[in-house]
Amino acid sequence: MLSVPTLFVVFILNFIALAFVWTYVARSYPNFSAARFWAAASYMAATGAAVSLFRGILHPLIPILLGSALFIFSGFLASMGIQRLYQRPLMWRAAWLVTAVASFGLAVFAIWQENMPARILIYSLAQSAALIAVLPLLFSRSKGAPLPGARMTGYIAIFCVAIYWLRPIVSLLKIGGEVSLIEFNEVQAGFIVLLVFSSMTWNFGFLLMSIDRLRAEVAALALSDDLTGAANRRQLQIRLDEECARSERTQQPFALLMIDIDGFKAINDSQGHGAGDECLRLLTRAVQSKLRTGDLLARMGGDEFCVVLPSTTLREGKMMARRVLEACRKQWTPEGAEPIMITASIGVAQWHGGVGLRAERLIAEADSALYAAKHSGKDRFALSEIHVPQAEPLRKSA
């Protein structure tokens, strides 16, 4: 039979080791704020275990209430680290509320009415609340199947919740014998050992989640333009291939806008490349403000942008081009320079049978329309004259 002090020594060593690891990660990667939550949770859990060692030595109010409160709040800190990792709102209010209510319940059954099973029940419910709060996040399918690290962490959380719920049931039924302040019976001691190793495994889940997050960010960087944050040419090509394949299969059109900033070279020459970069960022924000969910803005290079409009006809693309033009008309005053009026020209093209699976044909048609808009006086849009099937023999030969 394991004594309570022995179990809490194991807790202390376990959480100190985890705290050192997450402290090192937090110091090495200052922008990785989730690591600070996990380090703080480990330090707090180690402190709670150290305080709990004084059971039977000091008044129960200190080791039971303070130690348990630290354990409960550390569980919420660990869960908030997950929320911070996925950039979700933190549950500070719930953490303080649950910790305070649980501490009051523990005080009732530790000081005024000694009842060990009731204390186990209150503590278990409070600890499981922190885990249950993040389960929907760990198994979220908003962007497809959950990532492997999040899925593993979710399964471990479910396992811990099962232990927390089983402990009070076993205690109330007195399976394995009585549980005292100093000694746990073999069954309860087994539960504690399982929770110790589950906490270690849960932290490995945090590490896997961090790796998954890093891979996702690297993938996003590979498909994004560094300067504007819009999609880059690679992502545009992938999206155009997908839309062309879908339209070829369903015969439903989509539209493409080709956008070019008017007089961009003059802005670069007169104001410098810094002003030109800011001009590109302003245009990006202006265009994105008018796009729908599912539309894609991509930077082709230089001052040329493309917008992919799924399930959109040429007429609907014309309406979108008009809204984008209005949004692009902005006056901007660089520091210490004359005001600059930003305008753009837009070419609009629609997928048709002659394009087939060759996205470069649609780009060429939108580019021709853009050239026509520039030739007509800029700050306007033009439509591609090719928007009916007319290259069927070429498509078949291809």
Answer yes or no: do 248 and 315 share one domain: yes
User: CATH number, domain at 318?
Assistant: 3.30.70.270
The percent of residues above 70 in pLDDT, for the chain, comes to 87
- 15-49: pLDDT as tens digits: 899 899 999 999 998 888 999 999 999 999 999 88
Answer yes or no: do 176 and 268 share one domain: no
Answer yes or no: do 154 and 291 share one domain: no
- 10-23: pLDDT as tens digits: 778 888 998 999 99
- How far separated are the first and last CA of the chain, in Å rounded? 78
- Average pLDDT of the chain is 84
- Residue 2, pLDDT > 80, answer no
Answer yes or no: do 163 and 187 share one domain: yes
| Structural domain includes residue 367 | yes
Last residue of a domain, one of 222, 255, 275: 222
pLDDT at 176: 63
pLDDT at 361: 92
- Residue 264, pLDDT > 80, answer yes
* Confidence band, pLDDT 50/70/90 cuts, at residue 184: low
Closest to 50 measured CA to CA, from 20, 7, 105: 7
Determine phi and psi for 184, rounding to 5 degrees. -95, 150
Helix (H, G, I), strand (E, B), or coil: what is residue 299? strand
| Structural domain includes residue 148 | yes
- 81-131: pLDDT as tens digits: 999 998 899 999 999 999 999 999 988 887 777 788 888 899 999 999 999
Closest to 212 measured CA to CA, from 145, 132, 136, 133: 145
Closest to 200 measured CA to CA, from 76, 83, 38: 38
Answer yes or no: do 380 and 340 share one domain: yes
Ranking 72-76, 188-192, 291-295 by mean pLDDT, the lowest is 188-192
pLDDT at 342: 84
Q: How far is the C-alpha of 200 from the C-alpha of 72, rounded, in Å?
A: 16
Torsion of CA 271, 277, 278, 280, to 10 degrees: 120
DSSP track, 217-273: HHHHHHTB-TTT-SB-HHHHHHHHHHHHHHHHHH----EEEEEEETTHHHHHHHH-H
For 327, the token pair is 């949004």
Answer yes or no: do 212 and 257 share one domain: no
Last residue of a domain, one of 222, 252, 273: 222
| Structural domain includes residue 106 | yes
Answer yes or no: do 218 and 298 share one domain: no
Answer yes or no: do 130 and 264 share one domain: no
Residue 8 has a CB neighbour count (10 Å cut-off) of 23
| Structural domain includes residue 227 | no
Last residue of a domain, one of 193, 222, 251: 222
Q: Are the C-beta atoms of residues 78 and 202 closer than 8 Å to each other?
A: yes
pLDDT at 107: 86
Answer yes or no: do 194 and 247 share one domain: no
Burial 172-181 (b: 16+ CB within 10 A, else e): eeeebeebee
| Structural domain includes residue 228 | no
pLDDT at 321: 92
Domain count, the chain: 2
Answer yes or no: do 286 and 208 share one domain: no
| Structural domain includes residue 98 | yes
* Confidence band, pLDDT 50/70/90 cuts, at residue 388: very low
pLDDT at 125: 94
Answer yes or no: do 250 and 165 share one domain: no
pLDDT at 159: 93
Question: 190: domain range?
Answer: 4-222
| Structural domain includes residue 107 | yes
Q: Which of 65-69, 309-313, 387-391 has the highest mean pLDDT?
A: 309-313
User: CATH number, domain at 61?
Assistant: 1.20.1070.10
Answer yes or no: do 63 and 175 share one domain: yes
Strands 255-261 and 296-301: unpaired
For 357, the token pair is 């699976």
| Structural domain includes residue 239 | yes
The stretch 151-158 carries a mean pLDDT of 92
* Confidence band, pLDDT 50/70/90 cuts, at residue 397: very low
